[in-house]
Chain A
Amino acid sequence: MKGCVYPVWNTIFPYLLSGISVGGQYALIAIGYTMVYGILRLINFAHGDVFMVAGILMVYISASGLPLFLSIPLVLLVTSLIGYLIERIAYKPLRQAPRMSVMISAIGVSYTLQNLVLYITGGLNQLYPTIPWISSSITIGSATTKIVTVITPFLTIALVVGLVLLINNTKIGMAMRAVSKDFETSQLMGININRVISVTFVIGSFLAGVGSLLYFSNYTTVIQTSGAMPGLKAFVAAVFGGIGSIPGAVIGAFIIGIAENIIKGLDIILFKAGLIAKPLGLATFSDAFTFALLIIILVVKPTGLFGEKTTDKV
């Protein structure tokens, strides 16, 4: 029996590893959703597209011949700036408007970004530049993968820890927590809420930019719709973890990333374990699983794993 367990583990391990990595990438996107929701009660539908634009930026900036140590910070800087500008142009003027208007504006921004990229790229797949070292192969146990897969979860955790420290221990973090509860009283404390909201968008976009570096180093091509699926998955992760909660979004993202990748390899895993005689084509269901999970969580526990129980803000 024992001889049977190891090959199965060896089959599972590569899927688990890439699941953890994808989970980390989703987490970096999901934080942007959850932070913006926490403060504005807005689902920022353009967030996945900001992630995609960061990928396109990297393609064009590195094509210009800029060395990596400059192009990566530049991509992150411009991505943060785009996040800031989106909020200023498309959301801030609607601060007093009903929440639905802001959401529709977000959908508008999403399509604007996609079409802008379509116009620039001509709708062709753009080859993502190879970042040396992190794109090279590495073998761990039974898995051969890119180094980026291995460093993603560590980088994600480090960034999340940094973010949580920022929110819990700095003045701007305290202001963010206050604004997320009560705009008006925050203003009475002298807090410039627009500045706090801008900072939130900058942080969210910056993390999406880091996520895009990791994600596209793995998937190698970018197209104008590249942000849609990861964005949607990250959104599900944020809802699953309890939208508004940063640890929730991160845990939700890791769970979804792992589950999705295990399902992709489920046929082979079950076959190796001797449970099925021929492949069942279960890999097809990996995306469906994520969205089924969304439905289940909304029905069973709408506030997610760590969501606030409090009623909606007036």
Chain B
Amino acid sequence: MSLLKVMNLKVSYGGIEALKGVSFEVEKGQIVTLIGANGAGKSTTLRAISGLVPIKSGTITYDGNVISGQQPQQIVSEGLCMVPEGRRVFPNLTVYENLRIGAYLRKDDITADVEHVYQLFPRLKERSWQLAGTLSGGEQQMLAVGRALMMRPKLLMMDEPSLGLAPLIIRNIFEIIQTLHEEGITILLVEQNANAALKIADYAFVLETGSLGMQGSGHDLLNDPGIKAAYLGKSSSK
């Protein structure tokens, strides 16, 4: 059963069509990735799903309900959460407060969830009283992921989690994505780092200037000559 179903999604910014009718599905329990070049509409797709940008036409169905047109806070409350591009932690809040604000809508006890996040990212525990603005880029990314986990997401959307991070940290982030997947969270991953994304993805879609191009299993796309040439570069064809 598909957890998220996007049908013929169109989004435009002041007359320019950023998405020209995109349709795809995310199966429950999978890691699905959207890859594509700059400006292909990857982030716009995620922002439209989370309710941050208004859609022109099309429907988004999540867990059997139509969510297109809902407010972001409603969508979040249903367990569809996003780790935004560029991390966007609250720099004026402490690490711990950033985690607490992730659980803003929850009324139950959050101590166990905080412990779980600290277990995944021990660095955050060491820095729990530090302002998030003082963290390094990698730590901020960990915090952004941890913050989203506080919402107990069923479907976690991640927008370019590897952006601007050192290779070692990127590997760490991708390991965490797999761990979360093993814990039962469905993941929709947007990446420019197509190589790393395809390696962990169950299924992948390629976005080309607002429309879907190829699709297939991560493994298939990784070995597709066209994809290799366009997104992976020659060196990664090992």
Contact = CB atoms under 8 A, between A and B. Distances in A.
A174 B101 CA distance: 7
Contact of A188 (B76, B91, B100): B76
Contact of B90 (A171, A182, A190): A182
Interface string A209-231: 00000000000000000000000
B92 interface: yes
B205 to A, nearest CB: 23
Given A174-B100, A185-B84, A190 B93 contact: no
A185 B73 contact: no
B102 to A, nearest CB: 6
Contacts of A192: 71, 73
Given A174-B100, A178-B101, A188 B81 contact: yes
Contacts of B81: 188
Q: How many B residues touch the partner, as a band?
A: 20 to 34
A180 B91 CA distance: 11
Interface string A181-196: 1101101111110000
Q: Which of B81, B84, B104 has the most CB of A within 10 A?
A: B104
A190 B104 contact: yes
B52 A184 contact: yes
Contacts of B105: 189-190
B91 A181 contact: yes
Contact of B104 (A180, A181, A191): A191
Contacts of A207: none
A311 to B, nearest CB: 13
A175 interface: yes
A189 B104 contact: yes
Contact of B93 (A178, A187, A191): A178
A184 B105 CA distance: 16
Interface string B146-170: 0100010000000000000000000
A185 to B, nearest CB: 4
Nearest to B77: A190
A164 to B, nearest CB: 14
B97 interface: yes
A174 B73 contact: no
Given A178-B90, A185-B90, A190 B73 contact: yes
B113 to A, nearest CB: 14
A177 B91 CA distance: 10
Contacts of B71: 187, 192
Contacts of A182: 88, 90
B44 interface: no
A298 to B, nearest CB: 24
A184 B73 contact: no
Contacts of A177: 90, 92-93
Q: How many A residues touch the partner, as a band?
A: 10 to 19
Contact of A185 (B51, B77, B88, B92): B88
B50 A188 contact: yes
A187 B101 contact: no
B72 A175 contact: no
Contacts of A178: 90, 93, 101
A180 B104 CA distance: 16
Interface string B57-100: 00000000000000111001100011010001011110001001
B93 A174 contact: yes
Contact of B76 (A174, A181, A190): A190
Given A174-B97, A181-B92, A182-B90, A188 B104 contact: no
B151 A190 contact: yes
Nearest to A180: B92
Contacts of A181: 90-92
A188 B92 contact: no
Contacts of A187: 51-52, 71-73, 76
Interface in A14-53: none
Interface in B84-139: 84, 88, 90-93, 97, 100-102, 104-105
B21 to A, nearest CB: 25
B76 A189 contact: yes
Contacts of B151: 189-190
Nearest to B105: A190
A175 B102 CA distance: 11
A188 B46 CA distance: 12
5 contacts: A181-B90, A181-B91, A187-B51, A188-B84, A189-B76
Top-7 shortest CB links A-B: A190-B105, A187-B72, A185-B88, A190-B76, A190-B73, A178-B90, A189-B104
Given A171-B104, A174-B97, A178-B101, 6 more contacts: A174-B100, A187-B52, A187-B73, A188-B84, A189-B102, A190-B104
